[in-house]
Amino acid sequence: MIIDIREDVPDFLAYIRQRVEQHMASSQPSELVGVITFGFEIGQGNMAWLDFDTRSNAAPDGKWTVRVGKTPRLDRPKWPVFYKIPKGKPVFFIDLQGRKVEVLCAENTDELVAAIVGDAMKQALLKARAEGFFNLLPKVPKCPMFVEHMEGFYSWPTCNDHSGENLL
């Protein structure tokens, strides 16, 4: 099995655009988005969610996970479900740089796969920002964007990253 994560980026972008439009259509202009989280799960359910946190105390606190049942999701049926893969069958991911990485033989399979997927989702968020997807979204000044793996195997930005790359 080979998953080329570069092929998922256009789907991520279409989903981001759709979610921004859905949010704007269903919310009040006075409901400012305080945090945008692009969360994901891989290896079991293979899904992604773009969450708009409008709480007055919005923070990167993982609360997006309690809203996944109410947030339209992006299913990724071509991603592997690890427990269904026959023993000894290789699984490769092609990362954003075009490197083919065998993931099941790695000691840190979860972290490795989450990093490949998370980096692609980060790239999609940055491209969406550059293309103006979030321009009309009612949001707080310098609204932060995050990418998070549901079980914590990936996070962007990291807690030590204060570059501001994730701000709108």
Query: Given this model, what pLDDT does residue 87 score?
Result: 86
Average pLDDT over residues 133-138: 96
Query: Given this model, what pLDDT does residue 72 score?
Result: 95
Per residue in 23-40, pLDDT (tens digit) is 999 998 889 999 999 999
Question: Between vectors from CA 16 to CA 25 and to CA 22, what angle results, nearest 5°?
Answer: 15
**54 falls within a domain:** yes
Domain hosting residue 113, numbered range: 2-156
**162 falls within a domain:** no
pLDDT reading at 162 higher than 80: no
Q: How confident is the model at residue 83 (pLDDT cuts 50, 70, 90)?
A: confident
**143 falls within a domain:** yes
Give every CB contact of residue 62 below 8 A, 6+ residues apart in sequence.
Answer: 148
Total tally of structural domains belonging to the chain: 1
pLDDT reading at 101 higher than 80: yes
**165 falls within a domain:** no
**144 falls within a domain:** yes
Phi then psi for residue 28, to 5 deg, are -85, 145
Per residue in 66-76, pLDDT (tens digit) is 999 999 999 99
**6 falls within a domain:** yes
Query: Given this model, what pLDDT does residue 58 score?
Result: 93
User: What rounded mean pLDDT belongs to the chain?
Assistant: 94
For 144, left (φ over 0), alpha (ψ -120 to 50), or beta? beta
